[in-house]
Homo-oligomer: A and B are copies of this chain.
């Protein structure tokens, strides 16, 4: 973050607020109540790793008109005061008798009419980051004002990225591109996987990441069974496929993509599968257009894999990306979200190499009016080989 400056010009936040308020108006919401790190950052620019402490709740109210209001623990007043937010109300937290609920209730009553409908994101891929008992207390305090689902009002806005946001995500992708290009410096047969994970994180920082919120991966013979584990101390062995996946963060924006490496010569089945995954991504890069639904992208990539005689992996084959590692929509058969220009997405096909062994390949894109634009540097079609 540059000294004394916001991460974005104030107009970026004003535009977001206007867009949120238009949606709120369409949906008959009098306010949005936001509680999660990503939503608070999105509305205000308030960026801190202090969310790692579960001790205190933080609230931002977006009223129907005017700028958002922050209702936050006093410890955050200084930092929030450096964002574009000017109405900042604080309490001494944590307070076992009233941890901000009274102040939040008063604020909501001041900012909304009687019988207001106050939206909180409550649907798929959301949670409320405050104690449940306090939410119930808040509801009692609000009486005729109702807390209703605000998911759509928030998600339909957050999912369309401004050019300034796309540039931030691109920067994170470039940092990861550079770190992936250095994997062969420390990953070779005999190197323990936990050592590789540490070196990879250090390389991401060295290349400019502010912090590394996510690294996962695996190394196993002829493909891997799992993609979310932390590292073990097992050393790489010839014939292993090493996969590293990262969500590195710069200015609060994530990348999310992986790369595969072969330890020594590439097994034929692995090479065939990787090639087919690369082609499946290629089909989406060529054919994806605004107006397609999330489930259409899933089908597009499954069909490409099936044409090569491969069984697609379970789970989703890509998702949104931005101020969290993953955002909606999800490329599954069930998600009918319409894709629109300005969405930043991951294409993440996976396929079985053999029973219980999969490969996953991932790229990051922004969807433009005429189709996808890559944000990650396209993976090499042929898997890079590490020294055995």
Q: List A residues at the B interface (Cβ < 8 Å).
A: 1-4, 36, 38, 47-50, 52-55, 57, 73-76, 78-79, 92-97, 99, 120, 122-133, 135, 149, 194, 197-198, 201-202, 205-206, 208-216, 225-234, 247, 314-316, 319, 324-326, 328, 330, 332, 334-335
Contact of A49 among B47, B214, B226 (CB under 8 A): B214
Q: List 5 A-B contacts (CB under 8 A).
A: A54-B326, A55-B316, A57-B127, A96-B124, A198-B208
Given A49-B216, A198-B210, 6 new contacts (CB under 8 A)? A54-B125, A74-B314, A92-B332, A97-B334, A127-B128, A128-B128
Docked CA distance A1–B328 (Å): 31
| Cα–Cα, bound, A125→B134 (Å) | 11
Quote the shortest CB–CB distance from A103 to chain B (angstroms): 16
How near does chain B come to A359, taking the closest CB pair, in angstroms?
15
Q: How far is the CB of A350 from chain B (nearest CB, A)?
A: 10
As for how many copies of this chain the complex holds, the number is 2
CA distance A315 to B56 in the complex (A): 11
Given A50-B216, A324-B54, A79 and B126 touching (CB < 8 A)?
no
Closest partner residue, chain B, to A48 (CB atom): B228
A47 nearest CB across to chain B (Å): 6
B330, A53: Cβ atoms closer than 8 Å: no
Q: Are B126 and A228 touching (Cβ within 8 A)?
A: no
For A247, the closest partner residue in chain B by CB is B52
CB distance from A219 to the nearest CB of B (A): 11
B319 lies within 8 A of A75 (CB): no
Q: Given A127-B129, A210-B197, A314-B92, is A79 in contact with B3 using a C-beta cutoff of 8 Å?
A: no
Q: How far is the CA of A3 from the CA of B237 in the complex (A)?
A: 14
In the docked arrangement, what's the CA distance between A49 and B133, Å? 28
Q: Is the interface of A mostly helix, strand, loop or mixed?
A: loop
Contact status A1-B194, CB under 8 Å: yes
**Distance to closest chain B CB from A200 (angstroms):** 9
User: Whole-angstrom distance between the alpha carbons of A232 and B2 in the complex?
Assistant: 5
Cross-chain contact A215 with B49 (CB below 8 angstroms): yes
Specify which chain B residues have a CB less than 8 angstroms from the CB of A47 in the assembled complex: 230
Residue of B2, B49, B125 touching A94 (CB-CB under 8 A): B125
* Known contacts A38-B54, A124-B96, A194-B210, A78 near B226 by CB under 8 Å: yes
Q: Considering the chains assembled together, what is the distance between the CA atoms of A126 and B335 in angstroms?
A: 31
3 A-B pairs with least C-beta separation: A122-B132, A78-B226, A50-B228
Chain B residue numbers with a CB within 8 Å of A123 are 131, 133
| B131→A94 contact, CB < 8 A | no
| Cα-based distance from A198 to B212 in the complex (angstroms) | 10
Residues of B within 8 A of A53 (CB): 214, 324-326
Chain B residues whose C-beta falls within 8 Å of the C-beta of A225 in the assembled complex: 78
State whether B127 touches A132 (Cβ < 8 A): yes
Find out whether the CB atom of A211 lies under 8 angstroms from the CB atom of B215: yes
Contacting pair A214 B4 (CB below 8 A): no
Q: A205-B202, A335-B96 are in contact. Are A232 and B128 (CB under 8 A)?
A: no
Which residues of chain B have C-beta atoms less than 8 A from A315's C-beta?
73-75, 92-93
- Would A124 and B334 be within 8 Å (CB), given that A74-B314, A212-B212, A324-B54 are in contact? no
B128 touches A122 (CB 8 A): no
